Amino acid sequence: MRAMLHALLIALPPLLLVPAAGAAPYEVPTERSARTILPPGTPLKAPTYRIRDVVPTDGFTDRWTVDSDFGVFEVQGDGALRKLLVEIPAIAELKKTSKTKEFARGLGNSARAPISFVKNLVTHPVDTISGVPAGAYALVENVGESVTTTRNPAEDSRVEQALKMSSYKRDIAAKLNVDPYSSNKELQKNLNSVAWAMTLGDWAFSVAMLPAGVGGSVVSNVRLANSVKNAITQETPQRLRIINNETLEKMGVPEGLRKQFLDHAAFTPRHMTIITSNLDQLAGVSGRDTFLTVALTAQDETQANFYAAMAQILRGYHQTVSPLTAITPLTRITVGQTRSGRALLALPVDRLIWTDRVDQVTGGLKSSYKADGFTGQFDVWITGTVSPVARQELAGRGFTVTENVHTRVEVLD
């Protein structure tokens, strides 16, 4: 994320790099205490994990370290931490399940399974049917092609079992409120193991016996969040691809751009579904294809999370504050123009401080941004917080900051 935002700031046209006169002294990134970042009352210790109190930051993104019963996890971003704190208890529940007699029976049956990649499903989670990021479609499609090529009747059961296992896995993930496409290898390994044992073992075990997952933000529009979660749970990766492609086509997104987005290695089916569903809510807003073009610059999971959150912030503002009329690019982020005349900067960052680059970029935007009906006022919606100095300086330029917007509108982590 740091490299991405740094590239954004240094790549801006010279017109935008105009130092503002009389600005406050610049701040430098400093470590913060987890207690000052987490919501009040959030414990640093839980039965299965402990959050380290010292949190380094690069000026945009917090870097968290969590010690757990299942190893040390390091994640970038407050949203990634919220996601991890749901995943760790889920791993604990899956490990409990793996100690049952039903699990042992199912695993024993794997010896007679007519599918060649059983071991991969358990021990190599990144390459599974619902792994991340780019191989998800290819694996299932390759299985299907193998059936067509060999014309071996036994192959039918391989595909059937693979799809059944994938379905069980999505059901389990939904019940535990975790992402079936998560890059958390420990979570993937345990999801795969339990789902595969269920597939082969004819379990009397029911997914309903698992405890319901916890966590997530309080949001204003639960309907869309549930719609996205249901689609991810109920649909196979290749079916999600078809649905997302059809939705983007109805928006008028050109075929070549749709393919680039849906083939992008950094985006999982979950990322794609979140982005597509939220852009679909921006009916009548020009520049939705521009948003996808900008999002194609994502190079890894952290950046994919950034664009998924940005799409949700744009949609949330559009529905709850002022309808957007257009989305325009600003190198690797976008500016949303509103019907009321204000401009929106949707920034999924954890901490914004007053630096020379923030000074230059906002000063340049203030003097150069032009759009029909623009009033000269900017709204900055940020998922994290802004330092007092940055808030004061931004306010002096007509930038109104709203913090912690993930608690105001739905932003699925």
Residues 6+ apart with CB under 8 A from 352: 59, 60, 358, 382, 384, 385, 386, 387, 390
pLDDT of residue 227: 87
The Cβ of residue 349 has, within 10 Å, a number of other Cβ atoms equal to 22
In the chain, what are the domain boundaries? 2-30+217-407, 32-209
pLDDT, tens only, 265-302 = 999 999 999 999 999 999 999 999 999 999 999 999 99
Higher pLDDT, 210 or 97: 97
pLDDT, tens only, 203-222 = 655 676 677 765 544 444 56
* Whether pLDDT at 162 is above 50: yes
* Whether pLDDT at 352 is above 90: yes
Higher pLDDT, 203 or 322: 322
Query: Is the Cβ–Cβ distance between 146 and 155 less than 8 Å?
Result: yes
pLDDT band per the 50, 70, 90 thresholds, residue 67: very high
Query: Is the Cβ–Cβ distance between 305 and 348 less than 8 Å?
Result: yes
pLDDT, mean over the chain: 82
Structure tokens at 218: 């309080």
Distances (CA, A) of 83 to 56, 187, 246: 19, 12, 29
The CA angle 98-139-248, to the nearest 5 degrees, is 110
Residue ranges in 11-134 assigned as alpha helix (H) = 34-37, 78-97, 101-109, 118-123
The whole-model pTM stands at 0.84
pLDDT of residue 108: 66
pLDDT cut 90: percent of the chain above it: 60
